[in-house]
C-alpha cells in the first residue's frame, strides 16, 4: 500500500495523527499534514483508519 | 455476519448515510441496500460549499464524496431521490413522497437538517440560504456579480459566508443578534474573531435583529434592524441555524423532541438506528446526550452504526471535533465547547491570534478550542478528562 496526501485539501484537523502517529505529523505552522513515511504491512490498518476519518478526504491509499 | 439484517434501508444520502453503506460493504455485508435521498445528486460534502466551492477555488466536482463508479460498486438495489414522509417503526416500512414504500429489516435515520427560515423572509423576494450543492452554485453565481450582501446570522455558516463574500469582493454587512460564535467561544475570543471580520472589511451589526425586509427600488432589498438602522442589499443570505428533518417520524412513536434519541451505539429501537445531524446521541464519556451538526461526528457515528447493524456492540464515545475557516483564521474544537462552561487559557495568546483554551466542567477539562493552532490543539486534546 502507498499513501498520498493532498495538502491543498488538508484542514489541519490532525485526525490522521491520532489514528496513525507513526505515519503522520502536522506542520508546526498551519497544522497541515506531513507524511512521515509509507506504511509497513502491519501499519496498513492504521493508514486505512486515517484515510477514513480525514474530514477533508486529503489522504488517498493506492495499491503498490 | 449471521445476525446481519437481509435488507438495510438508509434514509439520507449525505456523508452519514453514505458512510454507513460504505462501511457495511467494507465489513463484508452482502445483503440488500436501499437508500432514500432527497436530491438527484450523488452524495456530496457540505463543509466545502461555504468555502472552496463557493469561492470558485474548486470545481464543484471536488465536492462529491464518491465517483459514479464507486457509487455503483456499492451495489445499491434501490436509490430513491424523493424524501421519506412516514415511518412504521414496528414493521420498518418507510413511505416515500412519490407514493412508494420501502420495507426493510433495519432502517438507518440519517436525514440531516435543513436551514431555518427566519420570520422576516416571509413574503420577501429572494432570501437565500446555503445547505445544498444547488444553493451553493446559485449563491456563487450571484456573488460573482459583486452585489451588496447582507448576511444574517453570526454562527459558523453565517461567518464563513460573510468571509467568502468579502473575499469575492462583495460589500458585506453581517447582522447578528449575538456576538460571533457566541454559543461556542468565550467573549474575548469572539471579540477577536469579530475584529478579524471587520479588518477583512465586513460591517458587523451585532446585538440586533432584522425586523422587516422590504423591496426597495430596482433589485435592492431594504433590511430594517431592531435598532432602527437600515441596510440596503442586492443579496440577502440567512444563516440562522438548522432544523432536523424528522417530521417524517411524527407518527412513528419514536422520541423526536430534540433530534432522534438514541443510545451510545446509535440504536433507537429494534431495527432502527440513527447517525449524523439528527442523532441525539448518548455520549457516556461526556456524561450527556448531545446532537452535533458537524462532519466528523457524523462520519464516526455512521461507522459505529454500520458495525452495530452487523451485530457488534460498538459505541461512539470519541471526542467530537469541528473546524471553521474564516476571515483568514482557523478555529477548531474538541469535546464539549460551549461558552457557558468555565474557560481557561492553555497556550499562546488571543491578541497574537495563536491560542489554545480549555473548557472546564466542575474542575475537569471537557473541551478545547484552538485559534490558528492546529498542532497545539491536538496535543492539548489529551488533557480532556477520561476520554
pLDDT at B387: 47
Comparing B215-224, B302-311, B323-332, B347-356, which segment has the lowest mean pLDDT? Answer: B215-224
Hey, what's the cell of B376? 497545539
CA A63, CA A59: separation in Å to the nearest integer?
14
Chain B environment of A53 (Cβ under 8 Å): 296, 299-300
Map grid coordinates 450571484 to a residue.
B142
Gap from B235 CA to chain A (nearest CA, Å): 29
CA B232, CA B260: separation in Å to the nearest integer?
40
User: Of how many residues is chain A composed?
Assistant: 64
Contact B321 A55 (CB under 8 A): yes
* Cβ atoms of A49 and A39 closer than 8 Å: no
Give the 3-state secondary structure of residue B329. Answer: strand
Q: How confident is the model at residue B285 (pLDDT cuts 50, 70, 90)?
A: confident
Chain B environment of A6 (Cβ under 8 Å): none
- Bridge-based pairing of strands B93-96 and A33-35 is unpaired
Q: Which of B299, B325, B375 sits opposite A14 (nearest CB)?
A: B375
pLDDT at B215: 87
Chain A environment of B47 (Cβ under 8 Å): 11, 55-56
**Whether residue B5 has pLDDT greater than 60:** yes
Q: Which of A31, A55, A56 sits opposite B375 (nearest CB)?
A: A31
Mean pLDDT over residues B339-357, rounded? 97
Gap from B19 CA to chain A (nearest CA, Å): 9
Nearest C-alpha in A relative to B57: A8
Find which of B66, B328, B378, B380 to mutate to test the A interface (most A CBs within 10 Å of its CB).
Answer: B378
**Whether residue A64 has pLDDT greater than 80:** no
Contact B378 A55 (CB under 8 A): no
Contact B374 A30 (CB under 8 A): yes
CA A17, CA B100: separation in Å to the nearest integer?
45
* Cβ atoms of B106 and B64 closer than 8 Å: no
How many other C-beta atoms lie within 10 A of the C-beta of residue B211?
13
CA A49, CA B285: separation in Å to the nearest integer?
21
Chain B environment of A32 (Cβ under 8 Å): 374
Give the pLDDT confidence of A1-59 residue by residue, as tens digits.
999 999 999 999 999 999 999 999 999 989 999 999 999 999 999 999 999 889 999 99
CA B17, CA A38: separation in Å to the nearest integer?
31
Contact B378 A11 (CB under 8 A): no
- The half-sphere exposure of B73 on its side-chain side, counting CA atoms within 13 A, is 9
Q: Which of A13, A32, A52 sits opposite B321 (nearest CB)?
A: A13
pLDDT at B335: 92
Cβ neighbours of residue B140 closer than 8 Å, sequence gap 6 or more: B53, B54, B55, B56
Find which of A55, A56, A58, A61 to mutate to test the B interface (most B CBs within 10 Å of its CB).
Answer: A55
Gap from A39 CA to chain B (nearest CA, Å): 20
Contact A11 B323 (CB under 8 A): yes
Contact A15 B45 (CB under 8 A): no
Map grid coordinates 452535533 to a residue.
B292
Burial class of A42 by CB neighbour count within 10 A (0 to 12, 13 to 18, 19+):
exposed
Chain B environment of A12 (Cβ under 8 Å): 323, 330, 332, 374-375
Measured CA to CA in angstroms, residue A28 lies from A50, B122, B375, B383 at distances of 19, 48, 6, 20
- The half-sphere exposure of A53 on its side-chain side, counting CA atoms within 13 A, is 23
Nearest C-alpha in A relative to B53: A9
Percent with pLDDT over 70 in chain B: 98
- Extract the runs of DSSP E, i.e. beta strands, from chain A: 2-5, 24-26, 33-35, 59-62
Q: How confident is the model at residue B175 (pLDDT cuts 50, 70, 90)?
A: very high
Pick the closest to residue B292 from B184, B164, B170 (CA basis): B184
pLDDT at B126: 78
Q: How confident is the model at residue B2 (pLDDT cuts 50, 70, 90)?
A: low
Contact A15 B321 (CB under 8 A): yes
Hey, what's the cell of B340? 457557558
Percent with pLDDT over 90 in chain B: 91
The residues with which B171 forms a beta bridge, in sequence order, are B148
Q: How confident is the model at residue B123 (pLDDT cuts 50, 70, 90)?
A: low
CA B121, CA B112: separation in Å to the nearest integer?
22
How many other C-beta atoms lie within 10 A of the C-beta of residue B216?
14
Q: Indicate the average pLDDT of chain B.
A: 95
Give the pLDDT confidence of B192-211 residue by residue, as tens digits.
999 999 999 999 999 999 99
Pick the closest to residue B238 from B133, B143, B117, B353 (CA basis): B117
Phi, psi of A41 (to 5 degrees): -55, -40
Pick the closest to residue B150 from B87, B82, B212, B95 (CA basis): B212
Cβ neighbours of residue B203 closer than 8 Å, sequence gap 6 or more: B172, B173, B174
Mean pLDDT over residues B138-167, rounded? 96
**Whether residue B172 has pLDDT greater than 50:** yes
Phi, psi of B226 (to 5 degrees): -70, -15
Mean pLDDT over residues B56-83, rounded? 96
N-to-C CA span, chain A: 5
**Whether residue B350 has pLDDT greater than 50:** yes
pLDDT at B111: 98
**Whether residue B121 has pLDDT greater than 70:** yes
**CB within 8 Å of chain B, chain A residues 1-60:** 11-15, 17-18, 26-28, 30-32, 52-53, 55-57
Q: How confident is the model at residue B386 (pLDDT cuts 50, 70, 90)?
A: low
Measured CA to CA in angstroms, residue B356 lies from A30, B268, B321 at distances of 14, 36, 14
Nearest C-alpha in B relative to A12: B374
Amino acid at each position: 500500500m502507498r499513501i498520498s496526501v493532498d495538502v491543498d485539501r488538508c484542514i489541519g484537523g490532525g485526525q490522521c495523527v491520532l489514528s496513525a502517529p507513526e505515519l503522520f505529523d502536522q506542520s508546526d505552522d498551519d497544522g497541515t499534514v506531513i507524511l512521515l513515511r509509507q506504511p509497513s504491512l502491519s501499519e496498513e490498518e492504521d493508514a486505512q483508519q486515517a484515510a477514513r476519518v480525514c474530514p477533508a478526504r486529503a489522504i488517498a491509499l493506492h495499491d503498490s | 455476519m449471521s445476525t446481519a439484517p437481509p435488507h438495510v434501508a438508509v434514509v439520507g444520502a449525505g456523508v452519514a448515510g453514505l458512510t454507513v453503506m460504505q462501511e457495511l460493504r467494507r465489513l463484508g455485508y452482502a445483503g440488500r441496500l436501499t437508500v432514500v435521498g432527497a436530491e438527484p445528486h450523488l452524495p456530496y460534502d457540505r463543509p466545502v460549499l461555504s468555502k472552496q466551492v463557493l469561492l470558485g477555488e474548486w470545481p464543484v466536482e471536488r465536492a462529491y464524496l464518491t465517483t459514479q463508479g464507486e457509487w455503483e460498486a456499492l451495489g445499491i438495489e434501490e436509490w430513491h431521490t424523493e424524501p421519506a414522509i412516514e415511518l412504521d417503526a414496528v414493521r420498518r416500512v418507510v413511505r416515500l413522497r412519490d407514493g412508494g414504500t420501502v420495507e426493510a429489516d433495519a432502517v438507518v435515520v440519517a436525514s440531516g437538517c435543513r436551514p431555518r427560515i427566519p420570520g422576516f423572509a416571509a413574503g420577501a423576494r429572494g432570501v437565500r440560504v446555503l445547505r445544498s450543492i444547488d444553493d451553493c452554485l446559485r449563491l456563487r453565481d450571484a456573488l460573482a456579480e459583486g452585489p451588496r450582501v447582507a448576511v444574517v446570522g453570526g454562527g459558523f455558516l453565517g461567518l464563513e459566508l460573510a468571509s467568502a463574500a468579502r473575499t469575492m469582493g462583495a460589500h458585506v454587512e453581517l447582522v447578528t443578534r449575538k456576538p460571533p460564535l457566541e454559543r461556542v467561544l468565550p467573549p474575548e475570543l469572539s471579540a477577536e474573531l469579530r475584529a478579524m471580520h471587520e479588518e477583512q472589511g465586513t460591517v458587523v451589526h451585532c446585538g440586533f435583529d432584522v425586523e422587516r425586509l422590504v423591496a426597495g427600488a430596482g433589485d435592492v432589498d431594504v433590511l430594517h434592524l431592531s435598532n432602527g438602522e437600515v441596510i440596503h442589499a442586492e443579496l440577502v443570505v440567512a444563516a440562522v441555524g438548522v432544523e432536523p428533518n424528522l417530521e417524517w417520524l411524527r407518527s412513528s412513536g419514536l422520541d423526536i423532541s430534540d433530534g432522534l434519541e438514541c443510545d451510545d451505539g446509535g440504536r433507537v429501537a429494534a431495527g432502527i438506528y440513527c447517525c449524523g445531524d439528527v442523532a441525539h446521541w448518548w455520549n457516556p464519556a461526556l456524561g450527556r446526550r448531545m446532537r452535533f451538526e458537524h462532519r466528523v461526528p457524523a462520519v464516526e457515528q455512521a461507522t459505529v452504526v454500520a458495525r452495530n447493524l452487523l451485530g457488534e456492540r460498538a459505541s461512539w464515545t470519541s471526542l467530537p471535533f469541528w473546524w471553521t475557516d474564516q476571515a483568514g483564521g482557523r478555529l477548531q474544537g474538541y469535546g464539549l465547547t460551549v461558552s457557558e462552561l468555565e474557560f481557561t487559557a492553555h497556550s499562546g495568546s488571543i491578541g497574537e491570534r495563536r491560542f489554545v483554551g480549555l473548557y472546564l466542567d466542575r474542575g475537569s477539562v471537557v473541551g478545547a478550542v484552538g485559534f490558528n493552532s492546529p498542532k497545539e490543539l491536538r496535543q492539548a486534546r489529551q488533557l480532556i478528562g477520561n476520554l
